[in-house]
Amino acid sequence: MSSIFLLLLALLLSFQSSSSVSVGSRSILRVVNNKNNGDQHDFAVDLNATNFDAVLRDTPATYAIVEFFAHWCPACRNYKSQYEKVARLFNGADAAHPGIILMTRVDCALKINNILCDKFSVSHYPMLFWGHPSKFVSGEWEPKQEKSEIRVIDDGRTADRLLNWINKQMSSSYGLDDERYENEHLQLNMSDPGQIVRAVYDVEEATSTAFDIILEHKMIKTETRASLIKFLQLLVVHHPSRSCRKGSAEILVNFDDLSPSDMWSANKEESVTGNGNGAMGNFQICGKDVPRGYWMFCRGSKNDTRGFSCGLWVLLHSLSVRIEDGESHLAFTAICDFIHDFFICEECRQHFYEMCSSVSGPFNKTRDFALWLWSAHNKVNDRLMKVEASLGTGDPKFPKIIWPPKQLCPSCYLAGSSRIDWDHDEVFKFLANYYGKMLASLYKDKGLLGDGGTNRSLVEDLAASTNAVVVPLGAALAIAVASCAFGALACFWRSQQKNRKYLYQLHSLKNI
Ligand SMILES: Cc1cc2nc3c(=O)[nH]c(=O)nc-3n(C[C@H](O)[C@H](O)[C@H](O)COP(=O)(O)OP(=O)(O)OC[C@H]3O[C@@H](n4cnc5c(N)ncnc54)[C@H](O)[C@@H]3O)c2cc1C
């Protein structure tokens, strides 16, 4: 009965997806940001009553500024270039400080925005507001309102003054001349556990980048197909981002059409579409707005440091704590094979595969696999610490350390020893919270996940996808099949455990 309901629901949603235009807010952002104004780009994002909530809900930025203006107002027209000078620093992939503040504007002279401007009691033009993006969603502001989480920017009449006001709020030192990759202003506190919240965007970015690299370098071959499929199955069920779970499911279910098995055979190198990747080349695994072109948690202080490989580690750790006990060995082999076949850094994949090959027995517990991955990562850190120190190739703001540092997890360290002595139970507890609950908490805050992103059901996922990409029937089935595969193993393992417990109890009773 429930499977019939599931099928009907999936059918309905897949019909919706084919008949409606996606209005995902990130795509609106992209469209708006690319708008040309003569020769000049507008960096501030134009919002209106239709996209206001969606854009502010979905932005990865920590803060938002909303400028209410009227296009007929001469002062607003003069102010535009000042506002744009600041928006250039924060908006778009070429921004000097992307992902921190989303700068937007709403034209109150447009009828469509009347109610919106009323809700914010706009009393003059231009009028600027500051707050966490989520506070603007379905939000309002009144002049006499006490303790509002949205504030009026009272000193932003020029670009300099606006940036000063921002710097005061954030204790930052942004400058109007800052350029991309001059990240010395990067405010970091590696011992701040809250930083990981931003990594959920990097996990999407890394997934999408990995997939792009696979296609660009034509890495799907007869001998590597199986490991990609296995990894996609893991992503379908356990990726912390719902859009990536959906995208992985769609690829899986269409895998044969997107990348026909004979496509990579010796005499059939030509692709279906001519770009060498078949229909797969047109597919974006985490939705069409990712990759965004910048990193948040994994942002380096130099152009060429951190980024993708950092995001990939975070993805692997987040998968390792999400799997069930019974899935741990499958997850281990899926990750080892994926890195071996698809991580294009030769030294990295070889070293990692050596560590994989030295594992003797199968993993039976999430804890064991998560701790193995953590320890493998620390071995890499330990090696790179020396290499980077001697060659000066590391990121000066992010030197390699044995992780987690004491400030981040005091209880991970056993007292009374001069060398590092780990309390492995505490380390696992820390990893599970850090890469599990905390990493997904931003989505939870935004109401995009019901349970911290761990085991949300397929029906919930499908039913919740109302506006952007809707999962087609095939993808729904793929999720179901992949869930069953991983779920069946988990069930089998659990029943084994139960049997073992039952036999043990029986045995104990006999001995009484
Ligand atoms: C599988 C794999 C193998 C690699 N092998 C090599 C190699 O052989 N040679 C090479 O030069 N580069 C290698 N790299 C790249 C390298 O490990 C770093 O990713 C890169 O130098 C960027 O470093 P980072 O400072 O951003 O931190 P990263 O090491 O990328 O770590 C990302 C984040 O993970 C957290 N973290 C750090 N250590 C741990 C841990 N032990 N457990 C859990 N979380 C942790 C920290 O918050 C850190 O900021 C590899 C990357 C991957 C994904």
Q: What is the mean pLDDT of each run of 10 residues along the chain (512 residues)?
A: 43 34 34 43 92 90 94 92 94 82 96 95 94 92 83 94 95 86 56 78 95 90 94 97 93 82 49 52 84 86 88 98 96 97 93 96 96 98 92 89 92 84 96 92 56 34 30 47 52 48 44 39
Sequence ranges of the domains in the chain:
23-170, 193-445
What pLDDT is recorded for position 266? 43
Ligand 1 centroid, distance to 187 Cα (angstroms): 20
Give, in order, the Cα–Cα distances in Å from 439 to each of 283, 321, 405, 433. Answer: 26, 11, 18, 8
Which residue's CA lies nearest to atom 6 of ligand 1?
Answer: 348
- CB 352 less than 6 A from any atom of ligand 1: yes
Q: Token match 């070293």: residue? A: 351
Residue 370 has, within 13 A of its CA and on its CB side, a CA count of 28
Q: How far apart are CA 125 and CA 157, in angstroms?
A: 11
Q: Token match 């995902």: residue? A: 24
CA nearest to 176, candidates 89, 101, 99: 89
Ligand 1 centroid, distance to 138 Cα (angstroms): 40
Q: For the range 266-272, what are the long-range contacts, defined as Cβ-Cβ under 8 Å and sequence gap of 24 or more?
A: none
Neighbours of 269 (CB within 10 A): 10
Specify the DSSP class assigned to residue 299: B
What lies within 8 Å, CB to CB, of 135 at 6+ separation is 149, 150
Ligand 1 centroid, distance to 257 Cα (angstroms): 35
CA nearest to 258, candidates 214, 223, 289: 214
Which residue's CA lies nearest to atom 38 of ligand 1?
Answer: 403
pLDDT tens track for 91-117: 977 788 888 899 999 999 999 999 999
Q: For the range 340-348, what are the long-range contacts, defined as Cβ-Cβ under 8 Å and sequence gap of 24 or more?
A: 340/227, 341/219, 341/224, 341/227, 341/228, 342/210, 342/213, 342/214, 342/219, 342/224, 342/227, 342/228, 342/231, 343/312, 344/213, 344/217, 344/219, 345/309, 348/309, 348/380
Let me know if the fold of 23-170 is the same as that of 193-445: no
Cα–Cα–Cα angle for 122, 123, 127, nearest 5°? Answer: 65
Active site residue 491: no
Q: How far apart are CA 302 and CA 285, in angstroms?
A: 28
Task: Give every strand in the sheet of 127-131, ordered side by side.
Answer: 45-47, 101-107, 63-69, 127-131, 151-152
Which residue's CA lies nearest to atom 33 of ligand 1?
Answer: 310
Active site residue 286: no
Q: How far apart are CA 47 and CA 54, in angstroms?
A: 10
Q: How far apart are CA 297 and CA 198, in angstroms?
A: 6
Q: First vs last Cα of the chain: how many Å apart?
A: 46
Q: Does domain 23-170 have CATH number 3.40.50.300?
A: no
What pLDDT is recorded for position 94? 77
Which residue's CA lies nearest to atom 13 of ligand 1?
Answer: 348
What lies within 8 Å, CB to CB, of 207 at 6+ separation is 235, 239, 241, 244, 285, 286, 290, 315
CA atoms 456, 324, 430, 435: torsion sign: negative
Neighbours of 184 (CB within 10 A): 10
Residue 136 has, within 13 A of its CA and on its CB side, a CA count of 36
Atom of ligand 1 nearest to the CA of 375: 41
Contact 125, 76 (CB under 8 A): yes
CA atoms 425, 370, 236, 233: torsion sign: negative
45-47 vs 101-107, strand pairing mode = parallel
Give, in order, the Cα–Cα distances in Å from 24 to each of 63, 107, 142. Answer: 20, 21, 30
> Against a cut of 0.85, is the pTM above it?
no
- CB 422 less than 6 A from any atom of ligand 1: no
Q: Token match 């090696």: residue? A: 383
Take residue 108 and report the two structure tokens written for it. 């109150």
- CB 301 less than 6 A from any atom of ligand 1: no
Atom of ligand 1 nearest to the CA of 196: 47
Contact 70, 110 (CB under 8 A): no
Which helix or strand (DSSP H or E) is residue 212 part of?
Answer: helix 199-216
What lies within 8 Å, CB to CB, of 36 at 6+ separation is none
CA nearest to 159, candidates 239, 67, 254: 67
Ligand 1 binding pocket mutation candidate from 198, 313, 383 (most atoms within 8 A of CB): 313
Pick one of 3.90.870.10, 3.30.413.10, 1.20.120.310, 1.10.287.3510 as the CATH number of 193-445: 1.20.120.310
Helix-helix angle 473-511:2-19, to 10 degrees: 150
